[in-house]
Amino acid sequence: MSFGPRLAELRESIEAEYRQRTPASGAMHARAQRHMPDGDTRTGIAFAPYQTYIESAHACFLYDVDGNALLDFNYNATSLIHGHAHPAVVTAIQRQAARGTAWSAPNPLQIELARDLCERVPSLEQVRFCNSGTEANMQAAKAARAFTGRDRLLKMDGAYHGTYDGLELNATEARGIPRNVRDNVVLAPFDDAAAAERLIVANRHELAAVIVTPVFTRGGLIPPSPGYLAALRDITRAHGVLLIFDEVISFRLAAGGAQDLYGVTPDLTALGKVIGGGLPVGAFGGRAEIMRVYAEGEPPGLTHAGTFNANPLTMAAGLAALELLTVPAFQRLADLGGRLSHRLAAVIGDDSAFQVNRVESLVSLDPRPTTIEPAAAEVLRLIRLALLNHRINMPGLCAVATVMTEVDVDRLVDAFGEVLGTFGDLLVPTTSGGVSA
């Protein structure tokens, strides 16, 4: 698809520089195609012409297989809140690895991490561990259905809760999901309390729960409007429907997650990412009377198994990571996120086809609502490649880490300014509302 000669020219020059700078990554990508479909096992990290292969990482930097040091603003999809290979986390993992990595029995560290999470997160009275955010959301939904005796879930259209069939469904359907999944999923627009109320009332006798990401993070960073989350809480409580917060990403926003930041307490919460210190992790929990569904009966009527649930390595890493997440640490993260968003917005200006959005330590560069999507997506891809050529790893959704400084933030902004200068009026909306091309 062509968006005009100027954009085609930029594409050719930016991609040529990227290929010249990353020949080893290009070769690995070609090899990977022979052994893995599409050359990898993570859909969300793919981009054209090929991904950068990373050999190691430390603090704020990624080191690729071609010897380039990249200042990172991704941190494995926002999960490494203390940066790469933080000494305290590495030490905790090494200490535990010497004692063993997994066994078919509980370990003391899971009690400590569970206690820490319950003390931090307002909704958590009891919690269980799993191995991913997908599993956490899946089990929270399962618990809601078991507790209420109802089957249907309401989710926000376009929201990402992992790759569990029952929550992956959106108006634009993904392949591989059974057609009858739609019978048990109700879709509502995010940040529209009136629409949510209509759907909840209409489906209240079949609805087990409403699940929502307190901050929308797919296809752009969208904070909730004032009162939206509180309205969901009131509506669900009034009709005996459970409220689930997916805080896999948003937990990094405050000491007790987004529910702490916005002052709204759900019935159940799904967690992941930062609570594992960089190792695979998931957790879910909430009111004790709901979590009892995992303990009722002989044997318990609701099964939750997993060979690596609460494995000692993850529990050790998670405890080390949470110990570093003090109130001053969250304030510093928010300050860095504010500096990044304000300086990026100043560089972009008010007449750009793009805008900067920010919630605490999360920052994103998104097309304005009037921007034509195909052209905007291609421009954003080229901006990302151009920043990689400037030794900056900045995807659409950015995160800052506790190990970063204002100097790191300013380095991104300076590089971003140089990159935007090469695009010129391509970033100015046309009279039809799209990107100039």
In 10 A of CB 140, how many CB atoms? Answer: 31
β-pairing, 152-156 with 185-188? parallel
Q: Which one from 228, 273, 294, 366 is the annotated catalytic residue? A: 273
Nearest to 361 by CA among 420, 270, 273, 290: 273
Show the tokens assigned to 419. 């990159």
- With beta carbons less than 8 A apart as the criterion, state whether 222 and 357 touch: yes
Q: Which long-range contacts (CB under 8 A, 24 or more apart) does 344-352 make?
A: 344/412, 344/413, 344/416, 347/413, 347/416, 347/417, 347/420, 348/420, 348/427, 351/428, 351/429, 352/427, 352/428, 352/429
Instruction: Please report how the helices 406-423 and 327-348 are oriented relative to each other, as an axis angle in degrees rounded to 10.
Output: 20
Q: Is 262 a catalytic residue?
A: no
Q: Which one from 72, 75, 155, 246 is the annotated catalytic residue? A: 246
Q: Which one from 18, 75, 160, 228 is the annotated catalytic residue? A: 160
C-alpha distance from residue 77 to each of 28, 80, 83, 287 (Å): 22, 8, 12, 29
- Rounded distance between C-alpha atoms, residue 344 and residue 338, angstroms: 10
The gap between the terminal CA atoms of the chain, to the nearest Å, is 12
Q: Is 142 a catalytic residue?
A: no
Q: Exposed, middle or buried, 115 (CB in 10 Å: 0-12/13-18/19+)?
A: exposed
C-alpha distance from residue 249 to each of 51, 252, 269 (Å): 23, 7, 12
Residue 289 gets the label, from left (phi > 0), alpha (psi -120 to 50) or beta, of alpha
3-state DSSP percent of the chain in helix, strand and coil, to 5: 45, 15, 35
Please list, residue by residue across 249-274, b when 16 or more beta carbons sit within 10 angstroms of its beta carbon and e when fewer do: bbbbbbbbbbbbbbebbbbbbbbbbb
β-pairing, 354-359 with 362-367? antiparallel
Q: Is 294 a catalytic residue?
A: no
Q: Which residues carry out catalysis?
A: 160, 246, 273
